[in-house]
Amino acid sequence: MILTLARSSPVDVASLAPARPALDRGRVEIWDVSVRFRSGGKTIHALENTSVDISPGSFVCLLGPSGCGKSTLLNTVAGYVRPTTGWVRIDGDQVVRPGPDRGMVFQQYSLFPWKTVRDNVAFGPYAQGKGRARARAIADELLDMVGLTRFAHRYPTELSGGMQQRVGIARALANKPTVLLMDEPFGALDAQTRAVMQENLLRLWAEFKTTVLFVTHDVDEAIFLADRVLIMSAAPGRIIEDMPVPLPRPRSPDVSTDPAFVALKRHCLQAIRTESLKAFEDQDH
């Protein structure tokens, strides 16, 4: 089976213009965010004094040791988790709840199993009042972009994992979000499928220029995808390094042998190893 975003027929790019966010939209401001939970009678410090400013249209990856709060930070931007202190703003508006300006893609595909692929993608626009015909037209455009037009009337259980995740990405883009939040979206895929999905995601991002905040534990994936890699500390999580990735675009898998890529990877691995050792030392005390 070939996984590709190559289109079976040309798509009128102008017709997709309404589905794209303006390039000056999608700024993410995170200021002094701390998140604490109560669990088993104890207070869990998930995030502590975390601040970062993300420019519109940029691709940013979050890296860090297991349990460092990467997903918590993403869920705070999504509006699923409220900060204990600090705030998150999208284009100047404070985040207080989930909203259609933020699309979310999870590691688990989270599709509606009783809906067809087409209706899964159309669900968001329809719920936003677009009307059934317009919602399905948006879904058809996006399914063409992700190479799944001929699977539009299938159900999620009839698709491979990679195909289901492509549906998930199309569904997240259907509401024209200015920010796309991705929580280890390729973590459950085999290595070959994952590599193809990474390339395909970059093609979509190059067309839409939606701001992307992407959580991963895979250093190679982060460097291959991102403009910036934010390295987080061991819990309580905070951003300890904001590392630019100056590798030219478009990128192909061959970039992983570039000396600059190798140097960035070595730096990230050392930083994460240092933080992981701190986490183990804290457990011992």
Tell me the domain boundaries of the chain: 109-176
> For residue 43, how many other CB atoms are within 10 A of its CB?
9
CA distances 234 to 63, 69, 73, 219, 275, Å, are 11, 8, 13, 16, 5
Question: The pTM is what?
Answer: 0.87
pLDDT digits (tens, 9 = 90+) for 108-130: 778 899 999 999 999 999 988 88
pLDDT digits (tens, 9 = 90+) for 216-257: 999 999 999 999 999 999 888 999 999 999 999 999 999 999
119, two tokens = 């209706």
Cα(21)–Cα(38) distance, integer angstroms = 38
CB 113 within 8 A of CB 157: yes
In this model, does residue 98 exceed pLDDT 70? Answer: yes
